[in-house]
Amino acid sequence: MGLTKRMRMAIVALWIGMHVQVAMMEKVTKPKPDISTSPLDIPPRVLMGPGPSSAYPRILSTSSLPLLGHMHPEFLSIMDNVQSWLKYSFQTDNKLTLAVSGSGHAAMEAAVANTIEPGDIVIVGVNGIWGERLVDMCERYGAIVRPMRLEAGQVFSQLDVMAALQANPGTAALILVHGESSTGTLQPLDGIGRIVRSHRALFILDAVCTLACVPLNVDEQMIDVVYSGSQKCLGAMPGASPLTMGPRAVAKLQNRKTKVRSYYLDMNLVGNYWGVNEGQPRAYHHTGLITNIYALREALAIVAKEGLEYAWSRHELQAKALWEGLQKMGLELFVTNAKARLPTVTTVKVPAGVDWKEVSTYVMEKYSLEISGGLGPTAGQVWRIGIMGHNARPGNVAMMLSALEDALRHVKWTGLKPLGKTVVEKTEL
């Protein structure tokens, strides 16, 4: 009676296996990485590329505040304030106005994922890398993408938009990039919203490089969906990215035939956490980015305190001072049409015979100041200089110009015209 020899052996083997495994699991089998464990020591740098921009000190200090629970009334009330200030910054009454958890790409993806359904025709304005990425993103969400292409440095006209919509009847959405940070263009918006609306399409706008720095009025300009980021124009840390969706976009979201393909970015659910859906109780969806929301609150408080008109003029004035200085030095701006030039990110042509990297490395090593190279269609051809948020001040413009002048002298560029004493003339409002 009982177990055969084979069965007894199997039980013994199992017993040994279990105990050996437990013993193994209590043992560290991979050594500690050989990395310094002293507190972080970050070199102070002035970040004046296309982003991240140096943050306002007042915003940085929010990262040492204690955490709150993501459903604590005190935190929900901070979220409410963020929402009110976002509406002001976007110039909108849209209820669905909130911060998406993640960098600008997360808000970009949320805009696409929520409003585009498989089979939708989507027109994307491509005049730089951000349009390119939007094409890719829309394709991933099943759209039939009709890119509208222009050379780097050019912007779309009302006629371009009209022609694209006429050529593509039944278009569901048209997407443009307000500030193309890869090429330095500012897309004019006036009139475009009305044209897109008359074709019953949604107008989606990338404002990652413009919100609160460049004039934008979401409601007046009839833009249905706008997204942004926190670490460029708003001068905060990356992580909580503004998004607003108007009634036409929300109607599309609520009447979708298919579920939003991203759970994390489903604005039906995220909207409930932000309390934007009438009659729906606030509910946990994913843990709010507590500290990033503190930072965004602080950034938006700075915008509100300063006032949008003042912030817009401050950026315009500093950008113009920079452009003037660069041209006086003998450099050429990549975007020749001054009206289509983005104040927040300036693209400067790298002169023939100059190695762009040598210049930016010199400026970084000597001044701890960041100037970036080109990206996508402008790679190797330009430097990109950011004037955003905390950096949009006379002292920063002056420092940028004199550091560049020094670097160009260092690389022995023969075209250099010294700026002399009048580095920055008028920069105070």
Ligand X SMILES: *Cc1c(COP(=O)(O)O)cnc(C)c1O
Q: Decide whether 130 or 413 has the Cβ nearer to ligand X.
A: 130
The rounded distance, in Å, linking the Cα atoms of 260 and 311 is 36
Q: Give which of 100, 154, 101 is closest to 125, Cα–Cα.
A: 154
Q: What's the min distance (Å) between Cβ of 362 and ligand X?
A: 25
Q: What's the min distance (Å) between Cβ of 239 and ligand X?
A: 9
Q: Decide whether 348 or 416 has the Cβ nearer to ligand X.
A: 348
284's CB contacts (< 8 A; 6+ apart) are: 70, 71, 273
Contact between 109 and ligand X (CB under 6 A)? no
Q: Decide whether 148 or 408 has the Cβ nearer to ligand X.
A: 148
Q: Decide whether 130 or 274 has the Cβ nearer to ligand X.
A: 130
**In the window 159-198, what residues touch ligand X (CB under 6 A)?**
177, 179, 181
The residue sitting closest to ligand X, measured at its beta carbon, is 104
**Amino acid identity of 408?**
L
Residue 260 phi, psi dihedral angles, 5° rounding: -60, 130
Q: Decide whether 105 or 261 has the Cβ nearer to ligand X.
A: 105
The rounded distance, in Å, linking the Cα atoms of 223 and 205 is 7
Q: Decide whether 214 or 329 has the Cβ nearer to ligand X.
A: 214
β-strand pairing of 202-206 with 225-227: parallel
SS3 for 27?
A: coil
SS3 breakdown of the chain: % helix, strand, coil, rounded to 5? 40, 15, 45
**Amino acid identity of 365?**
E
Q: What's the min distance (Å) between Cβ of 384 and ligand X?
A: 10
- Single out the residue of 49, 229, 325, 389 in contact with ligand X (rule: CB under 6 A): 229
Contact between 206 and ligand X (CB under 6 A)? yes
Per-residue DSSP letters for 76-123?
HHHHHHHHHHHHHHHT---SEEEEEESSHHHHHHHHHHHH--TT-EEE
Contact between 288 and ligand X (CB under 6 A)? no
Burial code (b: 16+ CB inside 10 Å, e: under 16) for 406-418 equals ebbeeeebeebee
Of 103-111, 191-199, 347-355, 378-386, which segment contacts ligand X by CB under 6 A? 103-111
The rounded distance, in Å, linking the Cα atoms of 62 and 296 is 9
Q: What's the min distance (Å) between Cβ of 177 and ligand X?
A: 5
The rounded distance, in Å, linking the Cα atoms of 67 and 415 is 54
Contact between 105 and ligand X (CB under 6 A)? yes
Contact between 130 and ligand X (CB under 6 A)? yes
Interface size with ligand X, residues (CB under 6 A): 15
Site string for ligand X, 22-51 (x = CB under 6 A): ----------------------------xx
Contact between 238 and ligand X (CB under 6 A)? yes
SS3 for 148?
A: strand
Q: What's the min distance (Å) between Cβ of 301 and ligand X?
A: 21
Residue 384 phi, psi dihedral angles, 5° rounding: -120, 125
Q: Decide whether 139 or 324 has the Cβ nearer to ligand X.
A: 139
Maximal CA-CA distance, the chain: 105
Q: What's the min distance (Å) between Cβ of 128 and ligand X?
A: 8
Q: Decide whether 178 or 314 has the Cβ nearer to ligand X.
A: 178
Of 78-86, 99-107, 194-202, 296-304, which segment contacts ligand X by CB under 6 A? 99-107
Contact between 104 and ligand X (CB under 6 A)? yes
Q: What's the min distance (Å) between Cβ of 179 and ligand X?
A: 6
Q: Which two tokens stand for residue 359?
A: 């210049």
CB-based burial label for 353 (10 Å; 0-12, 13-18, 19+): exposed
Give the chain's end-to-end CA distance (angstroms, integer): 100
Residues that bind ligand X (CB under 6 A): 50-51, 103-105, 108, 130, 177, 179, 181, 206, 208-209, 229, 238
